[in-house]
Amino acid sequence: MTRLTVLLATTALFTGVALAQNDNSGLGHVEGVAPATGEAPEAAGQPVETNPPNAPDQQPASADQTRAPQPAEMPQVEATVVADGLPHLWAMEFLPDGRMLVTAKEGQMMIVSAEGQAGDPIDGVPEVASEGQGGLLDVALSPQFAENQTIFFSFSEPRDGGNGTSVAKARLVEDGDTARLEDVAVIFQQMPTYDGDKHFGSRLVFAPDGNLFVTVGERSDPEPRVQSQDLGSGLGKVFRITPDGEPAEGNPFIDQEGALPEIWSYGHRNLQSATLDADGTLWTVEHGPKGGDELNQPQPSLNYGWPVITYGVEYSGAKVGEGQTAAEGMEQPVYYWDPVIGPSGMALYTGDEFPEWQDALLIGGLVSQGIVVLHTENGRVASEERVPLDARIRDVRVGPDGAVYAVTEQRGGGDSSIIRLTRAAN
Residue 104's pLDDT is what? 98
Q: List, as one string, the DSSP characters of 165-193.
A: EEEEEEEEEEETTEEEEEEEEEEEE-SS-
**Is 291:340 a contact under the CB 8 Å cutoff?**
yes
- Comparing CA positions, the residue from 175, 199, 172, 14 lying closest to residue 93 is 172
Stated pTM of the model: 0.92
CA distances from 373 to 208, 362, 363, 365, 408 (A): 24, 5, 6, 10, 17
Length, in residues, of the chain: 426
Question: What sign for the dihedral angle of Cα 67, 72, 76, 82?
Answer: negative
Tell me, what's the pLDDT at 43? Answer: 56
Domains of the chain (ranges plus CATH)? Answer: 5-38+74-423 (2.120.10.30)
* pLDDT, tens digit (0-9, with 9 covering 90-100), for 377-401: 999 999 999 999 999 999 999 999 9
For residue 413, what pLDDT is reported? 72
Q: Which of 88, 199, 268, 287 is catalytic?
A: 199
Rounded to whole angstroms, the Cα distance separating 400 from 276 reads: 17
**Tell me, what's the pLDDT at 411?**
75
Whether residue 275 contacts residue 325, with contact meaning beta carbons closer than 8 Å, is answered with no
Is 199 catalytic? The answer is yes
- How does pLDDT run across 19-78, given as a tens digit for each residue? 433 333 322 333 444 444 434 444 568 999 999 999 999 999 999 999 999 999 999 999
pLDDT of residue 127: 98
Backbone angles phi, psi at 357, to 5 degrees: -100, 10
In eight-state DSSP terms, residue 290 is B
3-state helix, strand, coil in the chain (%, to 5): 5, 40, 55
CA separation for the pair 107, 177 (Å, rounded): 20
Asked if residue 384 lies in contact with residue 372, where contact means CB atoms within 8 angstroms, the answer is: yes
C-alpha span between 423 and 76 (Å, rounded):
6
Nearest CA to 297 out of 307, 312, 282 is that of 282
List the 150-159 sheet strands across, edge first.
136-141, 150-159, 162-175, 178-189
Give the model's pLDDT for residue 25. Answer: 31
Can you tell me whether residue 225 is helix, strand or coil?
helix
Where does residue 120 rank: exposed (0-12), middle (13-18), buried (19+ CB within 10 A)? exposed
Query: Chain-centre distance of CA 91, in angstroms?
Result: 9
* Weakly modelled stretches of the chain, pLDDT under 70: 1-44
Residue 226 — φ and ψ, nearest 5°?
A: -65, -20
Which residues, including other chains, have CB under 8 Å from residue 176's CB and lie 6 or more apart? none
Q: Which residues pair with 407 in a beta bridge?
A: 395, 418
Q: Compute the distance between CA of residue 168 and CA of residue 187 in angstroms, rounded to an integer.
A: 5
